[in-house]
Amino acid sequence: MGALFGSRKRGNEYFQHSPASVAAPFDHSRNLKKYRLSVPMDQRPSNSAASRIKQYPDSKTGSYGEVQAPVRIKRFGFSHRIDGGKIRAASKECSDDKMKILLGRYQSTKNRALESLRYTTEDEAAVSLRLGNEKEPIEIDGEEENQVVVSDDSSVEEAEIVKKKLHSLNSSVVTDLSNEHAKVDVVEKMMNLMQLRHESADIVVPAHKSLYDYSLRRNDKLHSLAAEIQLTEMQLRRHLLLRPVKDTREAMRDVSEECFAPLSVEEEDDVTNALSLKSNRGKVLVSHETSNIDITGEKFQCLRPGGWLNDEVINLYVELLKEREKREPQKFLKCHFFNSFFYKKLIAGKGGYNFQSVRRWTTPKKLGYNLLDCDKIFVPIHKINHWCLAVINKKDEKFQYLDSLKGGDNKVMKMLARYYIDEAKDKSGKDIDVSSWEEEFVEDLPEQENGYDCGMFMLKYADFYSRDIGLCFSQENMPYFRRRTAKEILRLRAE
């Protein structure tokens, strides 16, 4: 462009860039001096108003200017270089393409799900109930047993994995989703709840089986223990098969017959004659040399019905029970029978206890055996007008008290416990502890129903306990037991 000279009036170039000159053109040609131009004449610009207006740029709509740098659109995964006003069109086109892709994926997933759920089996439903970590089941065709549960936090691509799992079960067809509308509704509900995972769902195992499997993995010794248990059980079964079976009913019948054996005619006559007061009042009917006890006709009268048993009859009968055990030890427990004077001596003296007074009663030389080796020790207890029985039961570790009138006496229990400790210390030099032994006032026993049979009940308690059988008698048997005891005393032999 040339420079202005002279009066420095603005040239035509000013009007090429001034918008104001378009509305009010002004001719300055009179005041302009000659150009000194190096351009040829034919190429010089025209100075007409039309030519000057033509050189203005066309008006443009909107407020967009030219983009001065490349623009990269990263939304929806595209990266095209777009200039100026083409950005909006490109964005709309990209959104449409993305929507088409998403709809296509959705439709494809729905179709695969429909295909995979077309046929379900009873086994597949059972397995599918355990897929998805206990999520809410979705019913198929109203069948409660055909349910599929899918985890909520899985991806869309896992549909193929579920399809393969269901088809791999290879079982018979149970139901067919034939209604297309029903299938669409079910699948849409499923698609709203499920997102499939890439990890496979484990079938739920019962808790006890899981713990058992875990213990097997952690401790191999269980296998060897199981084998030992099985071997022991086999040996036990073989032992039971080889061992002869004892008929307990037969044994009970033998004991019952023996305890209640009737007297013969001869024995009945002997008992009747012995109980006759007229001919036998002062006569000695029986003499027992070992115990030095004599039974006269008068003392023998206590065995008549309604009589109170005296010390001589009771003490002679317990001596006969001792001899019975020695005679047939295989039939009876190892027992010792104190006489009616033992407890009276034990509690006599200062403080109500005197071990020294009975210390020499149980020397091994005198008894022929050790008192501490006995299974049961019987102690008759006489309380003025009533007989009871106390038992030191080593076999069952008990101190027992049997009263036909259902009474009890704690003092007797304590005295016998103290005696047993002192006896062990004196005879064997050992300190024994009986604090754990039970003190039992026996309640399940035959009861006395009159005021005179207590002595006979006491003797029968000792008789049946020494046989190691239950007290299977009652008040009704007392008349028989009186005559039987009289017979056994006359014969000096307890049966």
Q: Which residues are known to be catalytic?
A: 386, 403, 454
Instruction: Assign 64 to helix, strand or coil.
Output: coil
Q: Which long-range contacts (CB under 8 A, 24 or more apart) does 227-232 make?
A: none
- Helices 478-491 and 265-274, packing angle to 10 deg: 90
- The pairing of strands 438-441 and 398-402 is parallel
Of 454, 488, 457, 453, nearest to 285 (Cα)? 488
Left if phi > 0, otherwise alpha if psi is -120 to 50, otherwise beta: which for 244?
A: beta
Q: How far apart are CA 416 and CA 413, in angstroms?
A: 5
Q: What would you report as the CA-atom Rg of the chain, rounded to the nearest whole angstrom? A: 61
Q: Looking at this protein, which amino acid is placed at residue 228? A: E
Which phi and psi (to 5°) does residue 321 adopt?
Answer: -65, -35
Give the tokens for residue 459. 């003797």
Query: What is the rounded distance in angstroms from the CA atom of residue 473 to the CA atom of residue 475?
Result: 7
d(C-alpha 61, C-alpha 489), whole Å: 147
CA gap 95, 88 in Å, rounded:
11
* Bridge partner residues of 381 (DSSP): 388
Tokens, residue 49: 């108003």
Q: In this structure, how many other beta carbons lie within 10 angstroms of the beta carbon of residue 147?
A: 17
Continuous segment of H or E residues that includes residue 337: strand 335-337
Closest CA to 401 of 437, 442, 434: 442
- The Cα–Cα gap between 409 and 402 comes to 10
CA distance 453 to 309: 8
Number of helices and strands in the chain (H, E) = 19, 11
Report the C-alpha gap between 387 and 409 in whole angstroms: 12
